[in-house]
């Protein structure tokens, strides 16, 4: 989800710079709210679980796609097996195809030799594909996921119902796809305590799926102004709610990217992964990325995406990121002022 979210500022910039052109994005229906308000962008949704599953299904989808329009340019922003099949078929039909360079070798070199030179941000890699195709883009805007006015109104009404006037409205998203990127829920509890000891604050807790919803329910305390939003509202309304908060505290996760791309302050907590690989919260100061000091653990970062199992008995890189450390960073950066 985070990869798709990070295409938004680039696709929006290309669409705005070329209003006479038509852009078509092949993606999943769930991601449609990211692209709200891009008038010359059409979304097409393959049925990857049934009709377009497997090689035969992917070929069938290509045939359907290729007969719809006379495509001028094909951009592969993903470079996975599925898109490799499609782009090969487009090349056979003599279409111009341009492909993202994910910098896989550079990332492996960082992990192997513990280099500290930051790689280009993934949005720059997306931009490079448009540049190769000689497609002009407008300047990238940090605030590029833009909910509709109707959704914003619903979000503001929800906040006014749950939050006292004058409170700081803070999002917390403690989950991620892999364990080395997740913060302990006890830490979230303690951080909320620390903040509410000094500030008037209401917390909105974010997650997805039954397991995360159940875990977040244990943190919910309506009397203290702590509300579990997981599973409570549709995804497009959730994005609008996030865009109406004062700040978000998230892991290296899709919620981090969504929050940053709606233009609010986003403080991110990093464990086994690192912003150095180019997946930091877009448009946020580097000081908003919180992790243990460089060199404190020889094994960190251990992977690009967090999927590698931890080599320690416990995930120390997350354990050492304490609630007091996070609180100090947020305060020192003016996150609660």
Number of continuous H segments (helices) and E segments (strands) in the chain:
13, 10
Which DSSP symbol is given to 119? P
Mean pLDDT of 173-190: 94
Degrees (nearest 5) of the Cα angle 238, 242, 243? 115
Helix axes 8-17, 122-132, angle to 10 degrees: 30
Closest by Cα among 247, 239, 231, 222 to 161: 222
Tell me the pLDDT tens digit for each residue of 76-101.
Answer: 999 999 999 999 999 999 999 999 99
Exposed (0-12), middle (13-18) or buried (19+): which is 201, by Cβ within 10 Å? buried
pLDDT more than 90, % of the chain: 88
Determine if the pTM surpasses 0.85. Answer: yes
CB-based contact 219:190 (threshold 8 Å): no
Q: How confident is the model at residue 294 (pLDDT cuts 50, 70, 90)?
A: confident
Helices (H), the chain: 2-5, 8-17, 54-68, 81-92, 104-113, 122-132, 149-162, 185-198, 209-217, 235-243, 254-261, 316-319, 323-332
For domain 150-332, the CATH superfamily is Glycogen Phosphorylase B; (3.40.50.2000)
The structural domains of the chain, with segments of one domain joined by +, span 2-132, 150-332
Q: Give the separation between CA 69 and CA 36, rounded to whole angstroms.
A: 23
Q: What pLDDT is attached to residue 52?
A: 96
Which CATH code, of 3.40.50.2000, 1.10.3720.10, 2.30.110.10, 3.30.70.260, is assigned to 2-132? Answer: 3.40.50.2000
Which DSSP symbol is given to 164? -
Q: What is the mean pLDDT of the chain?
A: 95
Do the domains spanning 2-132 and 150-332 agree at the CATH topology level? yes
């Amino acid at each position: 989800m985070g990869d798709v979210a990070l295409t938004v500022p680039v696709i929006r910039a290309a669409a705005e710079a070329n209003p006479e052109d038509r852009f078509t994005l092949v993606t999943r229906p769930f991601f449609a709210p990211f692209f709200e308000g891009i008038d010359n962008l059409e979304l097409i949704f393959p049925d990857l679980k049934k009709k377009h599953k497997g090689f035969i299904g992917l070929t069938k989808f290509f045939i359907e796609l290729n007969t719809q329009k006379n495509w001028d340019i094909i951009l592969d922003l993903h470079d996975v097996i599925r898109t490799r099949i499609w782009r090969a078929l487009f090349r056979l039909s003599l279409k111009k195809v341009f492909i993202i360079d994910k910098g896989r070798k550079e990332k492996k070199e960082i992990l192997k030799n513990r280099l500290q030179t930051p790689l280009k941000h993934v949005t720059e890699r997306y931009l490079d594909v448009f540049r190769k195709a000689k497609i002009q883009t407008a300047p990238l805007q940090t605030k590029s996921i833009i909910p509709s006015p109707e959704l914003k109104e619903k979000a503001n009404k929800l906040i006014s119902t749950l939050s006292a006037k004058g409170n700081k409205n803070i999002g917390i998203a403690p989950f991620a796809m892999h364990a080395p990127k997740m913060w302990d829920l006890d830490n979230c509890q303690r951080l909320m305590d620390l903040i509410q000891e000094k500030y008037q604050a209401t917390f909105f807790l974010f997650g997805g799926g039954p397991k995360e919803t159940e875990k977040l329910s244990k943190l919910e305390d309506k009397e203290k102004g702590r509300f579990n939003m997981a599973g409570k509202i549709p995804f497009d309304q959730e994005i609008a709610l996030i865009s109406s908060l004062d700040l978000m505290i998230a892991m290296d996760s899709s919620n981090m990217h969504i929050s940053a791309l709606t233009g609010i302050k986003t403080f991110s907590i990093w464990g086994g992964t690192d912003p150095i690989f180019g997946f930091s919260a877009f448009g946020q100061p580097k000081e908003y990325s919180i992790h243990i000091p460089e060199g404190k653990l020889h094994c960190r970062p251990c992977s690009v995406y967090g999927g590698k199992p931890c080599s320690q008995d416990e995930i120390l890189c997350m354990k050492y990121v304490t609630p007091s450390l996070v609180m100090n960073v947020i305060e020192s950066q003016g996150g609660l002022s």
